[in-house]
Amino acid sequence: MFFREELIALDNPNDKPHFSGHRQRLKDRFNKGGVDAVADYELLELVLYSAIPRRDVKPLAKDLITHFGSFSEVISAPNDRLKEISGIGDTVVSALKLVEAAAQKLAQGKIMNKPVLSNWQALIDYCQIKMAHQKKEQFRILFLDRQNRLIADEKQQEGTIDHTPVYPREVIKRALELHSTAIILVHNHPSGDPTPSRDDVTMTKNIEEAGKQLGVLLHDHLIISKSGQTSLKTMGLI
């Protein structure tokens, strides 16, 4: 009944909800100053407006930030964990996941079909957005052509919280199928520590050796986490 009455009330253009002024002021501040002009919870409010048009979403935005820790943690949280928060349903989850997908597409657009070795920071940014907040280990391969342009980005495996099975012959086989002459390996550590394990180093060397035999160069292996990233090449392990 509450929501029915609320809808009836809002049919009267002279009867505005108490939060309408706050919404407009926040929109004006964002339009004028951009993302630097709003706090994380306020940016989240702006996202929630479209999903919840007839309710004050400020308390919900603050609850989400408190629970998950940051704007990026909220939009990348698994659907089932989001729904554990009171007030979150399918419509809100869809709105949050749309923002996450848009961020990933924007970052990918800055590197796809471009020379990635001369645009390294954009590559790192993309990998962070794509993988840093994943709850399971994920192994991706970036396939490059002879000009080191990124021609494909594929998830090869997804494992558990601390292990992903990787098969060197399958990695190189896929590179040959795509006519790729160089690759960059990327996987995440959900633990938050990007330090390579002994298995990471061994797997990397096995893929490097398999690639050498068939003319596929391994440029690097990046390990991504919420706290940062590690390059096995920079560490002298490739």
Q: What is the pLDDT of residues 197-208, one digit of tens each?
A: 999 999 999 999
User: For residue 169, what are the CA distances in angstroms to 43, 50, 181, 203?
Assistant: 45, 47, 15, 11
Name 183's bridge partners.
Answer: 143, 218
Q: What is the pLDDT of residue 3?
A: 37
State the Cα–Cα distance between residues 164 and 224, nearest whole angstrom.
14
For the chain, domain boundaries: 2-105, 111-231
Residue 32: Cβ within 10 Å count: 8
Residue 132: Cβ within 10 Å count: 21
Query: CA 72 from chain center: how many Å?
Result: 8
pLDDT over 90 at 22, yes or no: no
DSSP 146: T
Give pTM, 2 decimals: 0.78
Q: Residue 224, SS3?
A: strand
pLDDT over 70 at 40, yes or no: yes
DSSP 112: B
User: For residue 27, what are the CA distances in angstroms to 30, 31, 205?
Assistant: 5, 6, 52
DSSP 149: B
The CATH class of 111-231 is: alpha beta
pLDDT digits (tens, 9 = 90+) for 164-211: 678 889 999 999 999 999 999 999 999 889 999 999 999 999 999 999
pLDDT over 70 at 14, yes or no: no
- What value does the mean pLDDT of the chain take? 88
Q: What are phi and psi of 138, to 5 degrees?
A: -135, 135
Q: What angle do CA 203, 175, 168 make, to 5 degrees?
A: 20
SS (H, E, C) 118-183: CCHHHHHHHHHHHHCCCCCCEEEEEEECCCCEEEEEEEEEECCCCCCCCCHHHHHHHHHHCCCCEE
For β-strands 217-225 and 228-231, DSSP reports them as antiparallel
Host H or E run for residue 217: strand 217-225
What tokens does 29 get?
Answer: 């501040």
State the Cα–Cα distance between residues 34 and 81, nearest whole angstrom.
29
Give the residue from 121, 115, 127, 135 showing the smallest Cα distance to 185: 127
